[in-house]
Structure formats: structure tokens, C-alpha cells
Amino acid sequence: MIVKSTDLYPRFRLEKNLDLQAYVESFMTSSRIQNLKNVLEYRMRHMCLVAENFIDEFNVHAMIRTSECFGLQDFHNIGQKNVLMKKNKSVNRGAFQWTHIYDYTDCPDPTLSCIEHLKSGGYRVFATSSHLNSNYTPESIPIDRPLALILGKEHEGISDLALKHCDGLVSIPMYGFTESFNVSVAASLLTQTIVERIRKSDIQWQFSEAEKENLYYEWIWNSIKYPDKLYYEWSAMKL
């Protein structure tokens, strides 16, 4: 079973209601509303990051923070059995609430389920490696289609299953003695270069107006305190 972070939201936070939206906006400052709309202009699904079987949950949170900072809307976590990912504000700095996180921990074969899910959505899937012969660098990886980058478990790297089913390998050029970057640092370096290439290209990477409106509706609930209380107050007024 694939679990999406928004599956845990109450329905009123996902099913757009313009009357309710206006009520929530009345509790927000105009600058806050404008900031949400400004960020939406830079949001993309053309690229996403995937964490495969990380041992240190802090690295997952750091990757989610990196993903959100660069404007990537979706993040995919291939978790280990019986290891549930919890929010950690000291590391992700609130990135959870602005990102759609897909978790594959409870799937029969999490890695394969994730790759199949991404490919069914039109993504090319690339694995990262510091010691295998790579096809690409961040500067040469193809960006004409949506792409997903899988970063593997600390120390061990990407799994054989991921290698078998991915569309290619990408690595960061290195010139020192150390064998590899920390996994969350590698995610940042890869993402910065690739995202900048996408943004400067002629690719239509921006959200459609409908996507922006739907995501804005989700986000306004994250911008206020006590959203459930506000919803029940609005519902009471409608009786």
C-alpha cells in the first residue's frame, strides 16, 4: 500500500470550497497570501527525490528539506519494515507541511513498487552512485522528461533491485580522496544543478493554473493555527 501524506488530512482540507477558502483567508494577512502564491510559481513535479532504505531518519528529513527548498512538490520514501517516519521539526524545518510525501514502507516490495509507480506516471528513474560507472553527471542527465533520483542507504548505497530497474546512473564528479559525499549533501548538490537546468530550459515544468489553485487551497490550512476549530466554526455558521 502506498501512503501519501495528504491521505491523513481531513476531507475539508482537500476538497476545495471557495466559500470556506474565503473564510480561511480572512484570518490570513495579505502578505502571507501573496507569499503562498509566489512560491507556487516555482513549484514543480518535473523532478523528485527518492530515499531508499535509509538507516538514519535524520537523513530522510534533511532530504525532504532539500526537496522543498528547491521547489520539488513530491518526495518518495522507500522505508524499511517496522520503521515509521515521524516528523522532526528540528531537521525538516516545517518542510513536511508543504510537500507531498509518498511512503512505500508497507508495500510487499517497496523499491519495486516505488519505481513502478514513478514510471507509470511518466518518470525516468535514475539511481545515484559514487563507485559504479555512471552514465550521467548532473550536467548531462536528460531532463526532457520528468525524472526521479534514487539515493541509496548510507554506506551500502543503492540496492541491486533499484539498479536493475532504473534507467541510468548519475554521479557527482569528485576530485578528493574521500569516497563519497554524505547522502543528504549529495541530494542537495544533485538537485541544485538539475533544477537550475530545468528552470532555464524551454520545458513546461510549471504547474497548471488548476494545480496551483488546488495546492493553494491545501496550503492555506497550513498557514493558520487550529484549522479544525476554524472549520467547525464555519460549519456552525452555515447551519
Same domain assignment for residues 139 and 212: no
Give the separation between CA 218 and CA 11, rounded to whole angstroms.
11
Same domain assignment for residues 165 and 227: no
When divided into structural domains, the chain yields a total of 2
pTM of the model: 0.91
pLDDT at 82 over 50: no
Same domain assignment for residues 48 and 77: yes
Write out the residue range of the structural domain in which residue 131 sits.
44-202
Same domain assignment for residues 57 and 90: yes
Confidence of residue 86 (pLDDT cuts 50, 70, 90): low
Residue pLDDT, tens place only, 162-218 = 999 999 999 888 888 777 788 889 999 999 999 999 999 999 999 999 999 999 999
Same domain assignment for residues 53 and 162: yes
Backbone angles phi, psi at 78, to 5 degrees: -90, 95
DSSP secondary structure of 203-227: S--BPPHHHHHHHHHHHHHHTSS-H
Q: Is residue 226 part of a domain?
A: yes
Cα diameter, the chain: 69
CB atoms within 10 A of CB 102: 20
Residue pLDDT, tens place only, 111-156 = 999 999 999 999 999 999 766 677 899 999 999 999 999 999 877 8
Give the separation between CA 24 and CA 41, rounded to whole angstroms.
21
Is the Cβ–Cβ distance between 56 and 152 less than 8 Å? no
Q: Is residue 1 part of a domain?
A: no
Grid cell of 189 as nine digits: 548538490
